[in-house]
Structure 1
Amino acid sequence: MDVIVRRTEKLEGAIEALSSKNYTTRYLLAAALADGTSTVRFPAHSEDSDAMRRCIAELGAELQEDDEKIVITGFGRNPKRTAELNVGNAGAVLRFLLAISALSEDVHFVNTYPDSLGKRPHDDLIEALRQMGAQVDDNGGRLPITVKGPVRGGAITVSGEVSSQYLSALLFLTPLLEEDSEITVTGDLKSKVVVGQTLEVLEQSGITVEANADYSLFRVPGGQAYRAGDYAVQGDYPGSAAILSAAAVLPSDVTVRRLAVHSKQGERAVVDVLRLMEAPLTHEHDIAVVRGTGTLQAVEFDGDAATDAVLAMVAAAVFAEGTSRFYNVENLRYKECDRITDYLNELRKAGADVEETQSEIIVHGRPQGVAGGVRIDSHYDHRVIMALTIVGLRAEQPITITDAHHVAKSYPGFFDDMIALGANVEWVKE
């Protein structure tokens, strides 16, 4: 379904932050890998987290869910042999389960999103699994992919140049192997903060991992077991970044609750960046409040640690005074779409003045707003959809965003929350 975003004069109100997709998927996986019963409280409800629920059930976990929690009886180190596994369009879920499937005899991952996840590369993880003894049949590093175990620990090398998800996948797998493992990360590891989230969940699950200061070397004792536990998922900064950025570009009085002040989510940086842009924003007692004036200043920001908030911050910079630069963001090219070229092409259609290099997004702000009056392509990407919505709020003419229902990948209630705050957004009836 498409949405039409029209010029909006003011945003006002209070919402609860959605639960973190990243923490939900990691807690669900840790619970599945435990022998015993775990509880995950306040889980995210999104296409990604639903994909993890569905897939761990197919691999043998038992799940019971109510409005506030999921109770999971895990399969431990013995996932069930599964002829076919469908992760939908969830890249992190795919990569985590590619590794875990090596504990099984034979798992075939199908390709149901050829124009999105089907285009994303997984070569570096596949190569690491082959080093460990797995047999992998793949389509040039892309789906469909079949993984056959068993695997062994030992010396493993994996590139961090494209994604940290490959490393996280190995960190979930290697504690369950008989042998000790030493994982060497080559190249410039992307999204180190997200690796920190993986290590946090592993520690809470009773797993021991030794990491050096720059995350280039990890020592993982073998023969470990995941401990069943009780986990509470914190509020999600990547999705909330879009709400906060929208509030910053308009006259507003918007409150977002359940955003932990001391969160390890890298996207928490959106609070600091919007403040640098001179947005009136307070953040105390896990509550963020934006009383926007619609006036912003340009900023320069290293986006590597806050990957999933960059597009929203770029959308805010479209309306700032001066030229903004978001650098060290090349890994945005390897997401659901090329989040640099594809996204900037759509921004230009809407009237924004933007440039790119291989690893940078440069925004020449237009405080007067943009023209709009166009139909723009979401590229089936939830982050692109949210960011383009922000731009539409200050366009002179309506913007139609195609396939906007794909926002459900991470934030199914995004448009409901935006409408509740006063955004002029309308679903197109088919």
Structure 2
Amino acid sequence: MKAIVKPTRELNGEINSLSSKNYTTRYLLAAALSEGTSTIYYPAHSEDSDAMRRCIQDLGAQMQEDHEKIVITGFGKLPSQVKELNVGNAGAVLRFLMSTAALCPEVTFVNTYPESLGKRPHDDLIHALEQMNIKVEHQNGKLPIKICGGNPKGGKIQVSGDVSSQFLSSLLFLTPLLEEDSEIEVLHDLKSKVVVGQTLDVLKQAGIQIETSDDLMFYKIPGNQKYLPQKYVVEGDYPGSAAILAAAAVTNSNVQMLRLMEDSKQGEKAAVDVLKQMGVSLTYNQSTLTIHGNHTLRAGEFDGDHFTDAVLALVAAAVFAEGSSRFYNVENLRYKECDRITDFCSELKKAGANVEERQSEIIVHGQPNGVEGGVEINAHYDHRVIMALTVVGLRSKKGLIIRDAQHVAKSYPQFFEHIQSLGAKVQLQED
């Protein structure tokens, strides 16, 4: 599917924010690992969260869902013995379930997206699992991956945090269920610490006790714990909302977004602070966030590790700022659905943007008068790239055509519907 994005002067209206994908996937797993029945209100529907639904059902979770909630009876530490699991293109789901699969005798994660998830490395988690009496067969750290488990052991575990925090989160979900106490030491740096905070928040809600160092680099996890059945409420999603906010910021707009909590623990809430620093007016009224775009943005320097999944949308906004912006500490973007530094910058240049890349930085030389556009560009099968390029297209002079736009459904299936409802001139065309 192609998205034909035409220049749009203003966005106006109100939308109900997407439910958080990150919290939904974590609540689903916590509910599956409990031995009772949990209820999750307002769960997200996206390719990622649907992949988690599908896989935990394959592992033995029983599930009933209506328009408001999902009721899950978990399998605890005794999942069904399945031979294969298909996570689609959902990297976080794969990594979370690689540890959970160690409770089974043998599970193979198949490779159905060789040009996307199939290229992503998982060596750091594999090395950690091997310290836990788990044999892992893999292709140089990539899919297909076979987990030979059945009797995982706790103890002292080391895991690198250099590439992704998802490896640590995966271990934090498994280790409380093991007979032995565990200690997890994070080596090197830890990317996306705020997202680890979301994992710890969910585990605490599920009744799991974990002792954590202040810098989130060391963890003590008592063994023989049980996940308690709970009622969970999913809040609005800041990573997806960042693209809507960026689109409103670069146009003359008045947009209200519902269900975005001012006290949210989502790291991407920092997108609000970044846009404020860029001169955009954003205000909260309870759980409604209002943004007034005025077409004028200021450049700045921003540590992207605090809001990983909002970086591309904010880079798109910075394309139209006065001055040069620098987004640093973002090397982990290279290990996502695509290389979100090289691939995204390449597409921005095609659109007429003036950007540079470093190993862990994106530098944007703003063009307040807009970029030329008028080209067809590649989304690289990446939902964040699609949303960010849409922002650029709205402020371009000749619009943009985005190929493979259907992959936005990985995290935000209603993205185009929502932005069209605000007045964005976007047409969807089947290939």
TM-score by length of 1: 0.99
Structure 1 counterpart of 2:391, which letter?
A: I
1:121 aligns with 2:121: yes
Alpha-carbon RMSD: 0.6
Structure 1 counterpart of 2:106, which letter?
A: D
What per-residue deviation string (whole Å, max 9, x for no partner) do you get for residues 211-266 of structure 1? Answer: 10011110000000000000000000000000011000000011101100000000
Could you tell me how far apart the structure 2 residues matched to 1:300 and 1:215 are?
Answer: 25
What per-residue deviation string (whole Å, max 9, x for no partner) do you get for residues 178-218 of structure 1? Answer: 00000000011000000000000000000000010011110
1:379 aligns with 2:380: yes
Structure 2 counterpart of 1:318, which letter?
A: V
What per-residue deviation string (whole Å, max 9, x for no partner) do you get for residues 48-92 of structure 1? Answer: 000000000000000000000000000000111111100000000
Corresponding residue number in structure 2 for 1:300: 301
How many residue pairs align between the two structures? Answer: 430
| Residue 282 of structure 1: how far off its partner (Å) | 1.2
The correspondence of residues 111-150 of structure 1 with structure 2, limited to 5 A, is 111-149=111-149, 150=151
| Residue 429 of structure 1: how far off its partner (Å) | 3.2
1:24 aligns with 2:24: yes
Could you tell me how far apart the structure 1 residues matched to 2:319 and 2:402 are?
Answer: 17
Secondary structure at 1:187 match in 2: strand
1:47 aligns with 2:35: no
The correspondence of residues 171-250 of structure 1 with structure 2, limited to 5 A, is 171-250=172-251
The correspondence of residues 80-119 of structure 1 with structure 2, limited to 5 A, is 80-119=80-119
What per-residue deviation string (whole Å, max 9, x for no partner) do you get for residues 251-297 of structure 1? Answer: 00111011000000000001111010001221231211111111111
1:425 aligns with 2:426: yes
The correspondence of residues 331-410 of structure 1 with structure 2, limited to 5 A, is 331-410=332-411
Could you tell me how far apart the structure 2 residues matched to 1:161 and 1:320 are?
Answer: 31
Secondary structure at 2:190 match in 1: coil
Q: Which runs of 4+ in 1 moved over 3 A?
A: none
User: Any unmatched runs of 5+ in structure 2?
Assistant: none
Could you tell me how far apart the structure 1 residues matched to 2:77 and 2:250 are?
Answer: 49
What per-residue deviation string (whole Å, max 9, x for no partner) do you get for residues 307-335 of structure 1? Answer: 00000000000000000000000000000
What per-residue deviation string (whole Å, max 9, x for no partner) do you get for residues 28-62 of structure 1? Answer: 00000000100000000000000000000000000
Could you tell me how far apart the structure 2 residues matched to 1:79 and 1:288 are?
Answer: 41
Could you tell me how far apart the structure 2 residues matched to 1:206 and 1:352 are?
Answer: 49
Could you tell me how far apart the structure 2 residues matched to 1:129 and 1:281 are?
Answer: 44
Structure 1 counterpart of 2:54, which letter?
A: R
Corresponding residue number in structure 1 for 2:310: 309
Could you tell me how far apart the structure 2 residues matched to 1:372 and 1:307 are?
Answer: 26
Could you tell me how far apart the structure 2 residues matched to 1:129 and 1:320 are?
Answer: 45
Could you tell me how far apart the structure 1 residues matched to 2:83 and 2:127 are?
Answer: 22
Corresponding residue number in structure 2 for 1:290: 291
Could you tell me how far apart the structure 2 residues matched to 1:392 and 1:328 are?
Answer: 26
Corresponding residue number in structure 1 for 2:10: 10
Could you tell me how far apart the structure 2 residues matched to 1:148 and 1:30 are?
Answer: 22
User: Any unmatched runs of 5+ in structure 1?
Assistant: none
Structure 2 counterpart of 1:80, which letter?
A: S
What per-residue deviation string (whole Å, max 9, x for no partner) do you get for residues 327-359 of structure 1? Answer: 000000000000000000000000000001101
Could you tell me how far apart the structure 1 residues matched to 2:342 and 2:302 are?
Answer: 19
| Residue 9 of structure 1: how far off its partner (Å) | 1.4
TM-score by length of 2: 0.99
Could you tell me how far apart the structure 2 residues matched to 1:415 and 1:216 are?
Answer: 39
Secondary structure at 1:92 match in 2: helix
Could you tell me how far apart the structure 2 residues matched to 1:271 and 1:287 are?
Answer: 13
The correspondence of residues 58-73 of structure 1 with structure 2, limited to 5 A, is 58-73=58-73
Structure 2 counterpart of 1:266, which letter?
A: G
Structure 2 counterpart of 1:340, which letter?
A: I
Could you tell me how far apart the structure 2 residues matched to 1:146 and 1:322 are?
Answer: 49
Structure 1 counterpart of 2:78, which letter?
A: N
Secondary structure at 1:178 match in 2: coil
Corresponding residue number in structure 1 for 2:37: 37
Secondary structure at 2:347 match in 1: helix
Secondary structure at 1:316 match in 2: helix
Secondary structure at 1:29 match in 2: helix
Query: What fraction of aligned residue pairs are identical, expressed as a percent?
Result: 66
Could you tell me how far apart the structure 2 residues matched to 1:274 and 1:398 are?
Answer: 23
Corresponding residue number in structure 1 for 2:331: 330
